Amino acid sequence: MTNEVIKHNLFYKALMIAMKMPGVVVKRDDFLYNQLSKRLTLSTLRVIVKDPVEVRKVDLNLRIKLARSSIKLHTLKVSLISFGLGLPGLPYAPGTIPADLAQYYFHVLVIIQKLAYLMGWPDFEIDQDNLDDETMSRLIVFIGVMFGSHQAETAVKLLSKKLADELARRLPKLALTKFGFYNLAKQIAKWIGIKLTKEGFGKLVGKAVPIVGGFFAGGLTIATYHPMSKKFLRYLSNLDIASYKEISSQS
């Protein structure tokens, strides 16, 4: 997936830096345990956190409420980026990728995982030491959904239906090929990269907001991150995978 054109665009560079940051990988079981521990019995909780199918049986409105709380938390964190209060020890080379852009994608990646897990998706199984094409393709397509790519929305919707219909507990590799995730990820990475380079982030998300200080102003991050995250949650909560349904016994 990562040909030379993709590797050298601004979006992909920032994404790869974000993927190396401590804390970017959400540990699914721990996250769900912490989110649901005050609302479910311990015995029920132990079953649920290990099985995506069981997560889908938990009241959807409750899961949406928890997801909204996560969005608020990360919106606050991402709004602090422009004030120099972001993540410490950012591993980026000065003069290449704006630090705040990479940090922005850190929070995009984290909220994607958190919302997906609350909406019944299996573990993304991200290995920071081995970021293979499958992992990156999946994440880029989900980012595409968050940024409003209709092609990405269609691909994820089809994958969601397959997972829901089969009560799948893991993301099948063959499905990513079947639904065109690899080629779609290339297109999305190019699209976002070109937009960032030629037009700037403000125009990419439809906001002609002046840049203050670094790559972002605090108001810009709130004006983009929060509505995109809310839209992403609405999208995920309406997919087949968000709610439990029995497999029909009819042949």
Cα dihedral 63/64/70/71 (nearest 10) = 160
188 pLDDT above the threshold of 60? yes
Distance CA(187)–CA(200), nearest Å, equals 18
149 pLDDT above the threshold of 70? yes
Burial of 242 (0-12, 13-18, 19+ CB in 10 A): buried
Distance CA(191)–CA(208), nearest Å, equals 18
Q: What is the pLDDT of residue 185?
A: 84
Closest CA to 159 of 122, 105, 114, 118: 122
- Selected residue with higher pLDDT from 201 and 233: 233
Q: What is the mean pLDDT of residues 155-176?
A: 76
Non-local (6+) Cβ contacts of 173 within 8 A are 134
79 pLDDT above the threshold of 60? yes
List the chain domain ranges: 4-242
The band of 202, judged by pLDDT with boundaries at 50, 70 and 90, is: very low
Q: What is the pLDDT of residue 190?
A: 81
Locate 116 and state its tokens: 């997906």
- Among the residue ranges 67-71, 175-179, 225-229, 243-247, the one predicted with the least confidence is 175-179
173-186, pLDDT tens digit by residue? 655 666 667 788 88
111 pLDDT above the threshold of 70? yes
Q: What is the pLDDT of residue 246?
A: 58
85 pLDDT above the threshold of 60? no
Mean pLDDT score across all residues of the chain: 78
Asked if 32 contacts 55 with a C-beta cutoff of 8 angstroms, the reply is yes
Task: Annotate the chain with DSSP letters as a single string.
Answer: ---HHHHTSHHHHHHHHHHTSTT-S--HHHHHHHHHTTTS-HHHHHHHHH-HHHHTTS-HHHHHHHHHHHHHHHHHHHHTGGGT-S-SS----TTTS-HHHHHHHHHHHHHHHHHHHHTTPPP----TT---HHHHHHHHHHHHHHTT-HHHHHHHHHHHHHHHHTT-SS--HHHHHHTTHHHHHHHHHHHHHHHHHHTHHHHHTT------SSS--HHHHHHHHHHHHHHHHHHHHTSGGGS--PPP---
Distance CA(56)–CA(206), nearest Å, equals 34
Distance CA(106)–CA(109), nearest Å, equals 5
Locate 223 and state its tokens: 């004006």
pTM, entire model:
0.82
Closest CA to 174 of 236, 166, 117: 166
